[in-house]
Amino acid sequence: MLGRSWSSDDILSQLGRVVIVTGPPSGLGEGTARVPAHKDALIVDPFIAVS
């Protein structure tokens, strides 16, 4: 990979994987959650209560 920049295209499908990201609705968490979400991962925010 010398001489080549890394990009989100280098990430394989994340289908069936769970990614825990704090604060995905805004800020740094949003950017962190965006790529795995576009690669079919389930994004979980542990601070959002589910009833």
Q: Where are the domains of the chain?
A: 12-44
The tally of CA atoms less than 13 A away on the side-chain side of residue 24 is 16
pLDDT tens digits along 36-51:
999 999 988 887 766 5
Q: Is 43 or 1 the better-scoring residue by pLDDT? A: 43
pLDDT tens digits along 7-44:
889 999 999 999 998 877 777 888 888 889 999 999 88
Q: What is the pLDDT of residue 45?
A: 82
CA distances (Å), origin 24, targets 11, 12, 51: 19, 21, 19
pTM of model > 0.75: no
